[in-house]
């Protein structure tokens, strides 16, 4: 494993976990069917170029902003992703502690491999945690989970709506591994023939997504959630402009344009493309709620492009899992410092000193046979 000072990009970190812990990489990396949406999530960023401005003062450059009113030093957050312990024994807490100094907000997955209480206990008093909710089909059971995280001080609910059934993730199904954690009681067997305790052939996704509510609707689910919690509500997994409009009508506080990192519906549009369409077609929505994207974000310029197009912030899933798997807490700090440097460099070279100065006219979508 190379020393941390040899790590200069997010791709470097992924390369290490691929060699060091193949089984963890296989689960983290896996995506639906032929992994086209996953690849396109990242490639979509290559179609957008900057209209950079020069001769503007940028010696002071401040990339800090707020997400749902909570401070963050960068317009990024951790997108909730399951089973951090698969890559490192300290799991999600590596991410919590690694995010503390920079106040990067961590969204904790419903399927975290540590308890929500353990993760909250590892956070510093000034740190913000959000909670990603997989809604149980039984409202009372779902409510119990919401009450638990409210009491632990989690500050927002991200309701995931793009994973009501498991998808087909072949890399995951083919990779044999077992997570049998004595402390948390989490048992996931992936013995190469599918998870033993769920639909054979669906791997970990099959094991984790069994009791979720498949009948959620705008009319029923959002008013219910509003009636049981005062926390801000964000819908995670909006995949088209039409649903973004319905979310705005449902008066939620935010939407996370996401296709689950390409892990759910194969050929779902890349979130950056959905963001672009939303910005071009439905500009007033951005005044009504906060819009975020995740999927394929691997460079500071990716973050800056999304912010130009109206995203309040951008989530990263796999990169945080890879960083904590390869180097624990310090790996997470390193990941954040790489993105910090890349974001600030891009902003300065664009002639921008604050996040609010990043506007849609600063990016251009170029469709050519080159990309």
Does residue 203 belong to the site contacting ligand FNR (CB under 6 A)? Answer: no
- d(CA 6, CA 188) in angstroms, rounded, equals 34
As measured in angstroms, the least distance from the Cβ of 28 to ligand FNR is: 4
Rg (CA), the chain: 20
CA 297 from centre of chain: 9
- Contacts with ligand FNR, 79-118, as mask; x by CB under 6 A: xxxx--------------------------xxx-------
- d(CA 106, CA 125) in angstroms, rounded, equals 14
Find the catalytic residue in 28, 116, 213, 260: 260
Which secondary structure element, helix H or strand E, spans residue 331, and what is its range? Answer: helix 318-349
As measured in angstroms, the least distance from the Cβ of 232 to ligand FNR is: 16
Does residue 258 belong to the site contacting ligand FNR (CB under 6 A)? Answer: yes
User: Is position 88 annotated as part of the catalytic site?
Assistant: no
Q: How far is CA 84 from CA 18, 37, 172, in A?
A: 15, 23, 15
User: Is position 276 annotated as part of the catalytic site?
Assistant: no
- Contacts with ligand FNR, 306-335, as mask; x by CB under 6 A: ----------xxx--x--------------
Per CB under 6 A, which region of 90-98, 149-157, 253-261, 340-348 contacts ligand FNR? 253-261
As measured in angstroms, the least distance from the Cβ of 208 to ligand FNR is: 7
Q: Which residue is nearest to ligand FNR (CB)?
A: 317
- d(CA 10, CA 334) in angstroms, rounded, equals 9
- d(CA 255, CA 218) in angstroms, rounded, equals 13
| Choice from 25, 28, 48, 154 touching ligand FNR (CB under 6 A) | 28
Find the catalytic residue in 28, 116, 162, 302: 162
Name every residue whose Cβ is closer than 8 Å to that of residue 48 and which is 6 or more positions away in sequence. 272, 276, 305, 309, 363, 364, 365, 366
- d(CA 176, CA 158) in angstroms, rounded, equals 31
| Choice from 87, 166, 194, 296 touching ligand FNR (CB under 6 A) | 296
Start-to-end CA distance of the chain, whole Å, equals 34
| Choice from 260, 279, 333, 334 touching ligand FNR (CB under 6 A) | 260
The count of residues interacting with ligand FNR (CB under 6 A) is 25
CA dihedral 31, 34, 38, 42 (to 10 degrees): 150
The residues annotated as belonging to the active site are 134, 162, 260
Residues making contact with ligand FNR (CB under 6 A): 27-28, 41, 79-82, 109-111, 132, 160, 236, 258, 260-261, 263, 294-297, 316-318, 321
């Amino acid at each position: 494993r190379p020393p941390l000072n040899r790590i200069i990009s997010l791709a470097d970190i992924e390369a290490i976990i691929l060699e060091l812990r193949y089984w963890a990489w296989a689960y983290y990396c896996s995506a639906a069917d032929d992994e086209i949406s996953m690849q396109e999530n990242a490639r979509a960023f290559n179609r957008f170029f900057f209209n950079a401005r020069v001769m503007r003062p940028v010696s002071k450059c401040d990339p800090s902003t707020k997400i749902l009113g909570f401070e963050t030093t960068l317009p990024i957050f951790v997108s909730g992703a399951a089973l951090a312990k698969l890559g490192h024994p300290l799991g999600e807490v590596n991410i919590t502690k690694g995010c503390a100094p920079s106040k990067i907000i961590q969204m904790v997955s419903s399927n975290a491999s540590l308890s929500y209480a353990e993760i909250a206990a590892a956070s510093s008093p000034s740190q913000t945690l959000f909670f990603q909710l997989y809604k149980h089909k039984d409202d009372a059971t779902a409510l119990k989970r919401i009450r638990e995280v409210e009491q632990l001080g989690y500050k927002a609910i991200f309701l995931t709506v793009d994973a009501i059934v498991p998808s087909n993730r072949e890399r995951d199904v083919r990779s044999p591994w077992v997570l049998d954690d004595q402390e948390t009681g989490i048992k996931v067997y992936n013995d190469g023939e599918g998870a033993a305790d769920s639909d054979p052939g669906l791997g970990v996704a099959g094991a984790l997504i069994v009791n979720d509510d498949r009948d959620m609707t705008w009319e029923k689910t959002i008013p219910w959630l509003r009636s049981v919690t005062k926390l801000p509500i964000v819908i995670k997994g909006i995949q088209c402009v039409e649903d973004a409009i319905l979310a705005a009508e449902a008066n939620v506080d935010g939407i996370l344009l996401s296709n689950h990192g390409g892990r759910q519906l194969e050929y779902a549009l890349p979130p950056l493309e959905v963001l672009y369409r939303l910005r071009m077609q439905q500009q007033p929505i951005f005044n009504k709620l906060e819009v975020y994207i995740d999927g394929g974000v691997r460079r500071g310029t990716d973050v800056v492009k999304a912010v130009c197009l109206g995203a309040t912030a951008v989530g990263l899933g796999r990169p945080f899992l890879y960083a904590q798997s390869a180097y624990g807490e310090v790996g997470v700090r390193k990941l954040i410092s790489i993105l910090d440097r890349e974001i600030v460099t891009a902003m300065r070279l664009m002639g921008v000193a604050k996040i609010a100065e990043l506007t849609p006219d600063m990016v251009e979508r170029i469709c050519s046979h080159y990309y």
